[in-house]
Amino acid sequence: MNNKPKVAFICVHNSCRSQMAEALGKYFASDVFESYSAGTETKPQINQDAVRLMKKNYSIDMEKTQYSKLINELPKIDITIKMGCNVICPFLPSKYEEDWGLDDPTGKSDEEFEFVIAEIDKKVKELAEKIKAGNLY
């Protein structure tokens, strides 16, 4: 499948959940979809707890390949995944949209982070299966 759908993981600051989702999308499903992440505001660096725990759990160094960016920097997106903004999530036109409703673990304990990482891990794999099955759009 050389025409892989482009998936954008969206949250306001693009510094934590959406970055982890982009990294795990690349890690688990790069054969199924292309992963991007973005927000309506950027942070000067990716959340350092997220960086540390992704290194620990998956040996992924997000700071090597990812940075906080705005949604207008993305290519045309096929699938929008909102991370779960308690505020209004940024709108991104796409063929399909899902809201994962994940709480932002920023500033919370490693346990909270680990929970969110595990949820993202599971949901990225589920998304890949749905895309492979061709039942999204």
Question: Which amino acid, 68?
Answer: S
Instruction: Report the pLDDT value the prediction gives residue 14, as an integer from 0 to 100.
Output: 93
- Dihedral-angle region of residue 45 (phi above 0 means left; psi in -120 to 50 means alpha; beta otherwise): beta
Kindly report, residue by residue over 14-38, the tens digit of the pLDDT: 999 999 999 999 999 999 999 999 9
How far apart, in whole angstroms, are the C-alpha atoms of residue 129 and residue 125? Answer: 6
Kindly report, residue by residue over 84-102, the tens digit of the pLDDT: 866 666 678 899 999 999 9
How far apart, in whole angstroms, are the C-alpha atoms of residue 28 and residue 124? Answer: 8
- What angle is formed at CA 28 by the lines to CA 2 and CA 75, rounded to 5 degrees? 50
The arithmetic mean of pLDDT across residues 4-19, rounded, is: 94
CATH 3.30.70.870 assigned to 6-133: no
DSSP per residue, 14-70: -SSHHHHHHHHHHHHHTTT-EEEEEBSS--SS--HHHHHHHHHHH---HHHH----B
Cβ(38)–Cβ(71) under 8 Å? Answer: yes
The arithmetic mean of pLDDT across residues 43-47, rounded, is: 94
Q: With pLDDT > 90 as the criterion, what percentage of the chain qualifies?
A: 85
pLDDT-derived band at 1 (thresholds 50, 70, 90) equals very low
pTM above 0.85, yes or no: yes
CA dihedral for 9, 22, 48, 83, sign (positive or negative)? positive
The arithmetic mean of pLDDT across residues 115-123, rounded, is: 98
